[in-house]
Chains A and B, each alone.
Chain A
Amino acid sequence: MEFLLHLIKAFVVGGLFCVLAQILIDKTMLTPARILVLYVSAGVLLTAVGLYKPLVDFAGCGATTPLTGFGYSLAEGVRKAVDEKGLIGALTGGFTGASGGIAAAITFGYLFALLFRSHPKK
């Protein structure tokens, strides 16, 4: 039962992040690239002011999976590293937090580039 509640929370919060972006795409001249930059930056900012952590606690993957969550892991990584190592942590912490996603994207992107070629769209 508790599992189902987790799923619903993740669904609703994650879905709402997507709807907000869709409205921006349809209603403004913002390109998808700008919206993603906006999202990752907003994720860092919201984490910095302490608003994003409560959302992650509430919605779990519904908050960590959207790109704002990418900003969250960058900011969290930086915060932990500054606590441990001081100022240098501002440079080293971000990638520690987000390294899994980035390295995976590079590795699998490269792998499938070797295996496939692009298809004409239908």
Chain B
Amino acid sequence: MRLIRLENPPTILGSAAVGSKKEFEGPLGADLDLHDETGTFGMDTWEKSESEMQRIVLNLALAKAKCETAELDAIFAGDLLNQCVGSAYGLLSFGKPFFGLYGACSTFAEAAILGSMLVSAGYFHKVATVSSSHFCSAERQFRFPLEYGGQRTPTAQWTATAAGSFILGKEGEGPYITEVMAGRIIDGGIKDANNMGAAMAPAAIDTLLAYFEESGNSPDTFDRILTGDLGREGVLITLELMKREGYDLTRVYNDCGLLLFGGKSQDVHCGGSGCGCSASVISGHIMKRFHSGEFHDVLYLATGALMNADSTKQGSSIPGIAHLVHISSHK
């Protein structure tokens, strides 16, 4: 069994989402708690900007959860930067036990899985999960300098400048994290770093099939099944291949990378990506819909591409991973 039904489902006590100008101008702009017009967050390097974003988003989530920093037992966080420095510097000032995680764009779900398991098990009473990505620091590290004049291919995705955070607690009124399932590393053999959706789709399908089989639930159980972030190409592949397996997801399925940005006018090609993308969509947009009573059950399936800038140059294929979190308004 890969599926874990949490014995004491932790409550999402509070959540927060921040972004930059582009995310604010997107369709979910109103669901951000804070945005920075320049994307610098007042810092002089892009890496420091990303760290500052993490510091801000955790502070906002704590405030919304009415939780004092002193009450936190641990922080589970990650980002895309080498050796997770975005989280390390950003969360330094909190002075809390820290688990630095790397799951590429799946990091937020990875953090939620580990955090909720340890709260459910009783080791921790309150924990925070944080993840972020910054377009400028990611471009620098994975692609080209910002001012370099290049063209993106039609399947390319846009790294979101955004961060999200959950505060999970042992007690409290929903929404709850009721089920979790960690992903396996799945290699579909894709080598094109500009087609991450295709590289990650096999991992998403692997986890989804395992979940439906083990849980006995069907897609109809959910208000939404959200991947983050396969982009348009990965979404179409997932829909089609899941249909071949006998699951029609058309009604409930969407992708955080598609939700965050507004199609053609924002020129993001296949949609958003980065560990801040799904983190901010889930922490902002989706949590608001839980609180308004619109959503009761959401399956959040965060996907990550497990590669670096050198592995693709060396000709290695790009394996993917998909971590699953079931958020529900009832235990």
Contacts and interface: CB of A to CB of B under 8 A. Distances in A.
In-complex A–B contact (CB below 8 Å): yes
B151 A120 contact: no
Contacts, number: 24
Contacts of B146: 118-121
A120 B147 contact: no
A32 B148 CA distance: 11
18 contacts: A25-B151, A29-B192, A118-B46, A118-B136, A118-B146, A118-B147, A119-B146, A119-B147, A120-B20, A120-B21, A120-B22, A120-B39, A120-B136, A120-B146, A120-B161, A121-B135, A121-B146, A122-B267
Contacts of B46: 118
B195 to A, nearest CB: 11
Interface of A: 25, 29, 32, 118-122
A118 B145 contact: yes
Contact of A120 (B135, B192, B267): B135
Contacts of B22: 120, 122
A119 B147 CA distance: 7
Contacts of A121: 135, 139, 146
A121 B137 CA distance: 12
Interface of B: 20-22, 38-39, 46, 135-136, 139, 145-147, 150-151, 161, 192, 267
Contacts of B161: 120
Contacts of B135: 120-121
A25 B150 CA distance: 11
Contacts of A122: 22, 267
Interface of B is mostly: loop
Which of A25, A118, A119, A120 lies at the interface centre, i.e. has the most chain B CB atoms within 10 A of its CB? A120
Contact of A32 (B38, B147, B150, B192): B150
Contacts of A29: 192
A119 B39 CA distance: 9
5 pairs of A and B residues whose beta carbons are closest in the complex? A118-B146, A120-B39, A120-B136, A118-B147, A121-B146
B286 to A, nearest CB: 26
Nearest to B135: A120
A120 B139 CA distance: 10
Nearest to B147: A118
A31 to B, nearest CB: 9
A95 to B, nearest CB: 25
Contacts of B20: 120
A68 B54 CA distance: 47
Contacts of A32: 150
Nearest to B134: A120
B278 to A, nearest CB: 21
Nearest to A22: B151
Contacts of B151: 25
Nearest to A32: B150
A25 B154 CA distance: 13
Contacts of A118: 46, 136, 145-147
A73 B151 CA distance: 28
A32 B194 CA distance: 14
Contacts of B145: 118
A118 B18 CA distance: 22
A118 B145 CA distance: 8
A121 B136 CA distance: 8
Nearest to A117: B44
A32 B150 CA distance: 8
A121 B139 CA distance: 10
A29 B315 CA distance: 13
A108 B161 CA distance: 31
A30 to B, nearest CB: 12
A28 to B, nearest CB: 12
Nearest to B20: A120
A32 B20 CA distance: 30
A29 B153 CA distance: 11
Given A29-B192, A118-B46, 9 more contacts: A118-B145, A120-B38, A120-B135, A120-B136, A120-B146, A121-B135, A121-B146, A122-B22, A122-B267
